[in-house]
Amino acid sequence: MQIGDHDVPVTNPDKIYFPEVGVTKGDLVAHYVGVAELVLPHLRRRPFHMKRFPNGVDADFFHQKRVPANHPSFVDEIFVQFPSGHSTVFAILDNPAALAWAANLGCIELHTWHSRVPEIELPDYLLIDLDPTTDGQWPFVREIALVVRAVLEELGLPSYPKTSGATGLHILAPIRPDVPFPDVRRLAKAIAQKVERRVDDQTVATTTWKVADRVGVFVDFGQNARDRTIASAYSVRPTADARVSAPLRWDEVAAVEPEAFTLQTMAARIAAAGDPMAGMWREPPSLRPRFEQLGVEPPAGT
């Protein structure tokens, strides 16, 4: 496949990756090339965690942090040291050819860090992940999302929702990369707890950390830690129906159904709705003043 100036090999394009809906590897590659202009702002300069499904969603998969040694020149890389003393070299996907290369390796999902090179210790968004505890809680997810938006608005933080592509919903608040991961997580916890108090019903919304003790939708703040990844906007997920993590307008959230967004429906969705996350990375606010607003100890140097 010729993508710009790059020739990207796509092996076995007719291999079925999603048997239930007949989606092939070639379809997956075509999806990512087609949405490259929309997805790359969310991926650029971020360490990329490879989760590979070489034989499709019904077969075994494996995680691969280290970028293959023989990767093409249009795939960038970044060395990362872990607190354990281990290290690896992650891929970075900065262009459509790199997206196609990753999809050809069976990377159905696009999992990236919350930070970008060179400031990989400083995330550039705060995440609230609404994660149902049991089946049938999607109406609660939609209800809680609007509370999250209200709390973030009170803090002066613009927010952008998207379906997770699985069972939940992600709410991203872009921030200036000037606060390290542990502090972002502390503030996210305070925000989640405020949402929990405002909902005031543990069977609807909870921040209870122990899974066995949860009843309501988990208002998850823990994803704001270093090394955590989420599937990016426009990422396909390994579900039987080839579901996609779809950006939403806030006026859509109250009635949205996640199964509406699949690899096969996204082109029409984008043509009709455009990109609800367009421009979200421009001029993000600093998180530092928000600690005092919530009565949370500020980061060092504030």
| Domains with residue ranges and CATH for the chain | 2-112 (3.90.920.10), 121-294 (3.90.920.10)
| Angstrom distance (rounded) from CA 177 to CA 282 | 12
Cα R_g (the chain), whole angstroms: 19
Per-residue b or e along 159-170, where b marks 16 or more CB atoms closer than 10 Å to that residue's CB: bbbbbbbebbbb
| pLDDT 10s digits, 253-285 | 999 999 999 999 999 999 999 999 999 999 999
pLDDT digits (tens, 9 = 90+) for 189-202: 999 999 999 999 99
For the chain, what is the mean pLDDT? 96
Report in angstroms the alpha-carbon separations of 83 from 49, 80, 178, 226.
17, 10, 20, 10
Phi, psi of 260 (to 5 degrees): -70, -20
215 Cβ neighbours under 8 A, 6+ residues apart: 133, 134, 202, 203, 206
Convert the pLDDT of each residue in 129-160 to its tens digit.
999 999 999 999 999 999 999 999 999 999 99
State the Cα angle at 124 between 248 and 76, rounded to 5°: 100
Tell me the one-letter amino acid at 118: P
Tens of pLDDT, residue by residue over 82-108, are 888 899 999 999 999 999 999 999 999
- Answer yes or no: pTM beyond 0.75: yes
CB atoms within 10 A of CB 58: 13
Question: Can you say how many angstroms the Cα of residue 65 is from the centroid of all Cα atoms in its chain?
Answer: 17
**Predicted local distance difference test score (pLDDT) of residue 301:** 76
- Percent of the chain whose predicted confidence (pLDDT) is above 90: 96
Q: What does the pLDDT look like over 40-89, one tens digit per residue?
A: 999 999 999 999 999 999 999 999 999 999 999 999 999 999 888 899 99
> Is the C-alpha dihedral spanning 110, 115, 118, 120 positive or negative?
negative
Q: E strand or H helix at 77, and its extent?
A: strand 76-81
Task: Quote the pLDDT of residue 266.
Answer: 96
Q: Does pLDDT of 302 surpass 70?
A: no
Q: Is residue 180 over pLDDT 80?
A: yes
Render pLDDT for 17-35 as a digit per residue (tens, 0 to 9): 999 999 999 999 999 999 9
pLDDT, average across residues 203-227: 95
Instruction: For residues 204-219, give the mean pLDDT.
Output: 95
Nearest Cα residue to 258 out of 248, 273, 268, 271:
248
